Amino acid sequence: PFINTSGETQCQSLKLEKQTLDLVKEGMKGACSPGGTAYPFFNFSPPVGCKTGTAEYGDPQDKTHAWLTAFAPDEIDTEAQMVVTVLVEGGGEGSAVAAPIAKKVMEAFFHGGQ
């Protein structure tokens, strides 16, 4: 695993309109809500916004990476306190494999879990 403990980032602004970013965040909130794809985060506190994914690689027969990116809290006009991305190479589906790992990280951060 890779954890950035230096505090340094290499981010740059995408220069998105606030309205566009708000729309993306709303969609990510929906993915972590009942009816969305990230079922491990349904009813999580604080509410989470996320995007699950499954990326094919190599021979397409049963070869997929599982990933999920999540942020919390999911309020539109509030800066996220926690952002996490989990990639499990050859792991399968993001909602079934990466989301439970991300949830454990979020639980540890927000609730002191392990």
Q: Give the model confidence (pLDDT) of 63-103 as tens digits.
A: 899 999 999 998 877 778 899 999 999 898 999 999 999 99
Under 8 Å between Cβ of 38 and 50: yes
Mean pLDDT of the chain: 89
Amino acid identity of residue 29, one-letter, is: K
- Is residue 90 domain-resident? yes
Domain extent, residue 70, equals 18-111
Q: What is the pLDDT of residue 11?
A: 76
Number of domains into which the chain is organized = 1
Most confident among 6-20, 32-46, 51-65 (mean pLDDT): 32-46
85 inside domain = yes
Q: Is the pLDDT of residue 114 over 80?
A: no
Stated pTM of the model: 0.82
| pLDDT at residue 61 in the model | 72
- For residue 6, tell me if it sits in a domain: no
Whether the CA torsion 36, 41, 46, 48 is positive or negative: it is negative
Identify whether 1 is part of a domain: no
